[in-house]
Chain A
Amino acid sequence: MITADERAAIRESFARLLTDQCSEEDVRRTMETDAGYDPALWQAMANMGILGLIVAPEHGGIGAGPVEIEMVMEEAGARLLAGPLLSSAVLAAGLISASDDADAKARLLPAIASGERKATVAFTGDKGCWTAEGVAVEARGEGDAVRLHGAASFVTAAHVADILLVVASTSGGLAVFEVDAKTSGVGIERLESWDRTQRLARIGFDGVPARPLEGAGEAAIEHALDLARVALAGEQAGAARRIFDITVEYLKTRVQFGRPIGGFQAIKHMAADLLIEVESATSAARAAAQAIEDDAPDRQVLVNLAAFACADAFSEVAATAIQMHGGIAFTWEHPAHLYLRRARADAQLFGSSDLYRERYVAALENAA
């Protein structure tokens, strides 16, 4: 159990680390590298416990939960942190932790928490819809072994992953399989992505031998996805707040017609409307994290709400921020477009806002 003081200390030290090692300049440099992440920063995050935040203490982690993950991701989002934090420390660690596979936990979680190995989760196929219908890898029993056939796409940080957790269809529904990324028959093809701070890949599986993750059926997959959803919501809330703050600062200093442009109602009113979006995103992400933590009755309502509300808020704030800045933000050198790129990628990852609005109504119908 993490106390409020410990939580605040984690937030503060992580924010300080990012201020030191994840400036805009650092992000720009990192996004042009092949790896797409900064190994020194990665190690520093491991040393701080961030990579093992949700890993149980007996496996070398901190044993925190969704509330702390959401909080950390707000900071990561604010700084546009590039790299496999979400893939490895949240999604993969969450999926392994949600399974009943004692051997996998003992073998993989300590290495994920220490940053020594990186994992990612392959879920959807080329449809890109993160629902059961989207899964395009099939697991077939062939002799003693299970082999994977098919393809997964939109896989985050696959090019640097050591471990692939592959969601595949079986005769008994969805299941998860562990594959070493170096196994022959695994074809990782990097996809060029508009958001250069997040690497995406398509992975072909040509009869690849795989180890089933025990007790990782649809419930465990959903649990890990929920964790990833609130983590992403936190990232969106934190990033939206940051680009909003950058914009408000600019409104106070940019002078036209003899006065700061923030004095013009046409601009001021846009800022007021965006503040509602920023605060709402923060509230939604935190409430969803708390609901998962408490396994509250309205958990599904709140997770689905956060999933679309935070995506839409970040998209709206990032897009409007460029308009409010004017010409300066149309230049490559200005950071606003980096936030727009991240916003547009985040808005699709794990499912669209339309999907989550639909699920939100369905959850409300169930609750009524």
Chain B
Amino acid sequence: MSNDQIDVRSEVRAWLAEHWDADARRPRSGGSTSDFIAKVFEAGWAAPSWPEQWWGRGLGKEDASAVISEFRKQRAPGAGQDRTNITANTVMNFGSDALKRKIVPEFLSGRVHQCLLYSEPGAGSDLAAIRTRAERDGSDYVINGQKIWTSGAMSADYGLLIARTDWDVPKHDGISFFLIEMRQPGIEVRPINQITGDSHFNEVFLDNARVPAENMVGAEGQGWKVLQTALAVERLVMGEGAGERRQGSAKSNVVSLIDIARDAGKLGDPVARQEIAQAMAYRQLNALNMMRAKAEMAAGSSSPIMSLGKLAMSRILHEDARVMTRLLGATSMLDGADHLRAADVNYRTANAYMTSIGGGTDQIQRNIIGERVLGLPRETEVDRNLPFRESRAVTG
């Protein structure tokens, strides 16, 4: 550890000691968490690796990691958004200087929130087949179309939007990326009723919604490339979040499968024990994989394992639910507050699809692993080089 790093660490520690009450997990000032995040931003901890003129501290990779690790130790929010803030990263990479100045401080200081306007009813796994259109009108673009599977749309200030600006080039080449204000008359948000009974996701209808041309991120037609950066940040956040959840939940899940078996009078059943072992093994093996991947990456080598986590997790969740159902037997037909175990296992059964479909289905994940990790030939796409107007996505 270098002297500089020790200096940064002690500076962060001192700053946190002054502003954050780790035991109570709240700001010392007595103000709100968002007030605290605004202070984190002003102090330059929100994006420590960025240059000082762009709200950072110009720290190297190791020093920036030290900042994040000190915040994590104190369970304080707001630091390290130079890795995790989707909008701020995307705008910093591709936006104009004017757009950076307008948008990035708003996001880093936690004053505004985003939602993601990517998927459409006709563009799920084949995301590049989007048909939402963006047409230039004076200094604005006018947006018409429908987005789906948007979480947080009700409370978002801005949407990260991909829309088609050119229909006469192949599908990946005619897309542009915008930052659109959500609170306007042309945007309507409707919650989706999910098979779990929850409504985490929304449909978003865009009917002559307007976005100023200066809110385009990257050049016209560069949207697919910009999107890849936004998706990479999102995957990083999801991967790390899943890792933390995994570590936290491994133990509780272990107890619950064994407890369910005991309560159902099946803990002595050798067949049930075999199934419990297999379900718990899937979870523990994935946790061991993630630990090894982190160690390998910390040692400077890349690891293919990071690409496997989502596919592995979907097997874990479906398998957990299947084994729990088997242990409960006929009780699993029941639901409601009087039958909490049944309600829980039925919820898990339905909710497991959120992982095996959302954010790329298991089948798409297998394509990605096969192509990007193992180097197998790409799946053929019959409309890859066609002008989008001639694709069956349009002609039906």
Binding site for B on A (CB under 8 A): 248, 251-252, 259-260, 262-263, 265, 268-269, 271-273, 275-276, 279-280, 282-284, 286-287, 301, 305, 308-309, 354, 357-358, 360-361, 364-365, 368
Q: Are A265 and B369 in contact (CB under 8 A)?
A: no
Please list 14 pairs of residues, one from A and one from B, whose beta carbons are closer than 8 Å in the complex, sorted by A's number.
A262-B374, A262-B376, A262-B377, A263-B376, A271-B370, A275-B369, A280-B289, A284-B288, A301-B284, A305-B281, A305-B285, A308-B277, A360-B280, A364-B280
- The residue in chain A whose Cβ has the minimal distance to the Cβ of B315 is A276
Complexed CA–CA distance, A252 and B369 (Å): 14
Q: Are B285 and A263 in contact (CB under 8 A)?
A: no
Q: Are A279 and B308 in contact (CB under 8 A)?
A: yes
Q: Which of A252, A273, A275, A357 contacts B273 (CB 8 A)?
A: A357
Complexed CA–CA distance, A272 and B367 (Å): 8
Complexed CA–CA distance, A337 and B308 (Å): 27
Q: Which of B276, B280, B281, B371 contacts A268 (CB 8 A)?
A: B371
Q: Are A280 and B288 in contact (CB under 8 A)?
A: yes
- List CB contacts (< 8 Å) of B250-306 with chain A: 254-255, 258, 270, 273-274, 276-278, 280-281, 284-286, 288-289, 291-292, 304-305
Of A262, A265, A276, A282, most B-chain CB atoms within 10 Å = A276
Q: Are B308 and A309 in contact (CB under 8 A)?
A: no
Q: Are B254 and A364 in contact (CB under 8 A)?
A: yes
Complexed CA–CA distance, A98 and B305 (Å): 36
- Top 10 A-B residue pairs of the complex, sorted by shortest distance between their CB atoms: A263-B377, A268-B370, A262-B376, A357-B277, A272-B366, A272-B369, A283-B288, A280-B285, A269-B366, A283-B289
B280 contacts which chain A residues (CB < 8 A)?
360-361, 364
- The residue in chain B whose Cβ has the minimal distance to the Cβ of A248 is B374
B155 contacts which chain A residues (CB < 8 A)?
none
Q: Are B374 and A368 in contact (CB under 8 A)?
A: no
Q: Which of B254, B270, B376, B378 contacts A271 (CB 8 A)?
A: B376
Kindly list 14 other residue pairs between chains A and B, CB separation below 8 angstroms, not including A269-B366, A364-B280. Answer: A268-B366, A271-B369, A272-B366, A275-B304, A275-B308, A284-B288, A286-B292, A301-B284, A354-B274, A357-B273, A357-B281, A360-B281, A361-B273, A361-B280
Q: Are A360 and B254 in contact (CB under 8 A)?
A: no
CB of B29, distance to nearest CB on chain A (Å): 42
B363 at the interface (CB under 8 A from A): yes
A263 contacts which chain B residues (CB < 8 A)?
376-380
B242 contacts which chain A residues (CB < 8 A)?
none
CB of B227, distance to nearest CB on chain A (Å): 23
Q: Are B363 and A269 in contact (CB under 8 A)?
A: yes
B74 at the interface (CB under 8 A from A): no
A251 contacts which chain B residues (CB < 8 A)?
376
Contact with A along B361-396 (1 / 0, CB 8 A): 001011101110111111110000000000000000
Complexed CA–CA distance, A248 and B369 (Å): 12
Complexed CA–CA distance, A309 and B281 (Å): 8
Q: Are B308 and A262 in contact (CB under 8 A)?
A: no
B274 contacts which chain A residues (CB < 8 A)?
354, 357-358
Q: Are A273 and B366 in contact (CB under 8 A)?
A: yes
Q: Are A262 and B370 in contact (CB under 8 A)?
A: yes
Of A271, A276, A305, A361, most B-chain CB atoms within 10 Å = A361
B127 contacts which chain A residues (CB < 8 A)?
none
B312 at the interface (CB under 8 A from A): yes
A361 contacts which chain B residues (CB < 8 A)?
258, 273, 276-277, 280
B311 at the interface (CB under 8 A from A): yes
Q: Which of B255, B312, B377 contacts A260 (CB 8 A)?
A: B377
Q: Are A271 and B374 in contact (CB under 8 A)?
A: yes
Q: Are B380 and A276 in contact (CB under 8 A)?
A: no
Q: Are A268 and B289 in contact (CB under 8 A)?
A: no
Complexed CA–CA distance, A287 and B284 (Å): 11
- The residue in chain A whose Cβ has the minimal distance to the Cβ of B303 is A279
Q: Are B308 and A276 in contact (CB under 8 A)?
A: yes
- List CB contacts (< 8 Å) of B112-150 with chain A: none
Complexed CA–CA distance, A305 and B288 (Å): 11
Complexed CA–CA distance, A353 and B379 (Å): 37
A265 contacts which chain B residues (CB < 8 A)?
363, 366-367, 379
